[in-house]
Structure 1
Amino acid sequence: MSNTRGRDTAAEMSVRRELHQRGLRYRVSYRPVPGLRRTADIAFPRQQIAVLIDGCFWHGCPDHYRPATGSRSHFWADKIEVNQRRDVESSDAFIAAGWLVLRFWEHEDPASVADQISSTVREAAETIR
């Protein structure tokens, strides 16, 4: 587990490349709530939009997650459950602080994810002006 990336995963990098091609600039591993040790994978501070890209295994994707079998299956089941609970708590904390939270799975097409993020950011930018 120590070799598991906490940031700059392949899914994040693909989405970030797509966003950059669309002319969007963003912050990476940004803490939307000061004092809370939770980060957004991609953040647009001015528009207060936090983007989270969840890994299918680590966050229990309903389409791709397969429970572990064997001697440590209980450990992994508990680990995924704790991760899912933390995801909900993080989203709730970000929302309570006034942020819009966009969550995606790593298996989603980076171009369509970037399209959704881009349109949301541009709409939010228009309301700020």
Structure 2
Amino acid sequence: MSRIRAKDTRPEMVVRRLAHSMGYRYRLHRKDLPGKPDLTFGPRRKIIEVRGCYWHAHVRYDPKCWEARSEAKSNQAYWGPKMDRNVERDRKNLAALEAAGWKVLVIWECELRDLEAVRTRVSDFLGEK
């Protein structure tokens, strides 16, 4: 577990470069917000969360996700509940952020295969009032 990155992951870096190239500026991993969100756009009160399909169990949200299909092959007694805790923590953090008045866009790792679609979603999300 110590070798698994919590920030500066490849999918997160792709979204960061995309947002920056679109002219948006953001803060990273604000410790004063629940879950230390990936990208925070303060004056807009908006957040972009970039989630890895495997670690955040995307297959539970989208059965067609090809990246989250694999299950742990060893120590399933640990990894099954671990994934359950990850999903529950994500739900709690999202609810806390929304209750505090933040709007949150979740981008899944598998969605990054179509960068133009992600660019459109980010633009629509950050452009709306």
TM-score range for the pair, normalised by the shorter chain length:
0.7 to 0.9
* Separation in structure 1 between the aligned mates of residue 91 and residue 11 of structure 2, nearest angstrom: 21
| Aligned position for 1:46 | 43
Cα–Cα, structure 1 residues 94 and 15, in superposed 2: closer, same or farther, change >3 Å?
same
The 5-angstrom pairing of residues 102-117 of structure 1 reads 102-109=105-112, 110-117=115-122
* Separation in structure 1 between the aligned mates of residue 108 and residue 87 of structure 2, nearest angstrom: 13
Letter in structure 2 aligned against 1:78: P
Letter in structure 1 aligned against 2:121: Q
* Separation in structure 2 between the aligned mates of residue 47 and residue 32 of structure 1, nearest angstrom: 17
| Aligned position for 1:127 | none
* Separation in structure 2 between the aligned mates of residue 97 and residue 107 of structure 1, nearest angstrom: 29
| Aligned position for 1:96 | 99
Check whether the contact 1:28–1:40 (CA below 8 A) recurs between aligned residues: yes
* Separation in structure 1 between the aligned mates of residue 31 and residue 119 of structure 2, nearest angstrom: 21
TM-score normalised by structure 2 residue count: 0.85
Identity of aligned residues (%): 33
The 5-angstrom pairing of residues 7-46 of structure 1 reads 7-31=7-31, 33=33, 36=34, 38-46=35-43
Tell me, what secondary structure is at the counterpart of 1:40?
A: coil
TM-score normalised by structure 1 residue count: 0.85
Check whether the contact 1:53–1:106 (CA below 8 A) recurs between aligned residues: yes
| Aligned position for 1:67 | 71
Q: CA RMSD for the aligned pairs?
A: 1.5
In structure 2, list runs of 5 or more residues that go unmatched. 60-64
* Separation in structure 1 between the aligned mates of residue 5 and residue 81 of structure 2, nearest angstrom: 20
Check whether the contact 1:24–1:118 (CA below 8 A) recurs between aligned residues: no
* Separation in structure 1 between the aligned mates of residue 120 and residue 27 of structure 2, nearest angstrom: 18
The Cα of 1:57 is off from its aligned counterpart by: 1.3
